[in-house]
Structure 1
Amino acid sequence: KQNVFDDFIAAGEFLIAEQYTSSDKLAIMGGSNGGLLVGACLTQRPDLFQVAIPRVGVLDMLRYHEFTIGWAWAEDYGRSDDPDAFKYLIKYSPLHNIKKVEYPATFIMTADHDDRVVPAHSFKFAAELQHQQQGNEPVLIRIETSAGHGAGKPTSKLIDENADMLSFMLYNMNEEVSYKKLDQ
């Protein structure tokens, strides 16, 4: 798993080195397993990104298998009750690698009826990140009500969710957004 995080971080470093962007204009977002990716990269290289948005992410790698369908992922991740797997999981578990440093603006997204990645992952991650944050960037959590892991969400909820996410991202990258009326 660490290779995935290393590759993602290297991609961000490449974009900056080649002057496609800068760290103050680099935002990352991922959902579910991609939320794990964002959480791990956020805790491993908080200086690289201006905005991080983990959506319904697997963020507690030591207890994921204790909740709902999490047991089924053990073959992919390993389980923390196996001493060898524990040594590996503890090194990248986003929740367990939060330190007292400056983190980028972070918008953690979850849903109260998510039975795939229970919202406790996001609750614990948000609380610990808020507690350890040494910078001035916000660490917020958005909890969608009466919603699950993502599939089957009504269009109105998707619009609200994406509007909040994009607004947070653009605001925290100091991007000006202009609107033009379309000719009718």
Structure 2
Amino acid sequence: MAQVESTSPRQISRFTLYFFGALGGILFGYDLGVISGVLPFIGKLWGLDALDKGVITASLSVGAIFGALASGRVNERLGRRKTIMVSAVIVIIGTLGASFAPSFSFLLISRFVIGLGIGLSSSTVPTYLSELAPAKVRGAMGALNQIFIVSGILIAFLTSYFLGPVSAWRWIVFQVSFSRL
């Protein structure tokens, strides 16, 4: 006799949904905002001009564009959950590269890689959460994600403010890889 699969939806607690929504948003915001505290240090260290600083800042966004463009195909091939895991690994690798970057070029490539992971996750996480959330909280999940992106940017600014006086730019960048583990 053939077994019949259950078609009932998987039960996920609201706390789990809120936690992952918050974590994804905070990390995305942190990655976007952290460069503001790093630029003064790398500018002096590597003698960067305004164009170089702009390119370093934009490299994450350019990577995010490519990551977001690829997210549809990656989601179809791997599924949303695995795509989120892959994007986290990509961001960790990029963050480690950025934290230990010996040169402008290496930091530029590392931030582009971080952007790829952010682009993958920024389109996947809200979709995944809305698919899993009960209908009555789906709108709140989207708003929650946006609130935590801005919170992540604030956390990056605060981290830069408190670690800036000790010239700890590598530690400021490295913070995000610890939070992803």
Superposition TM-score, scaled by structure 1 size: 0.25
> Which one has a larger percent strand, Structure 1 or Structure 2?
1
Superposition TM-score, scaled by structure 2 size: 0.26
Higher relative contact order (CA 8 A, sep 6+): 2
> Which one has a larger percent helix, Structure 1 or Structure 2?
2
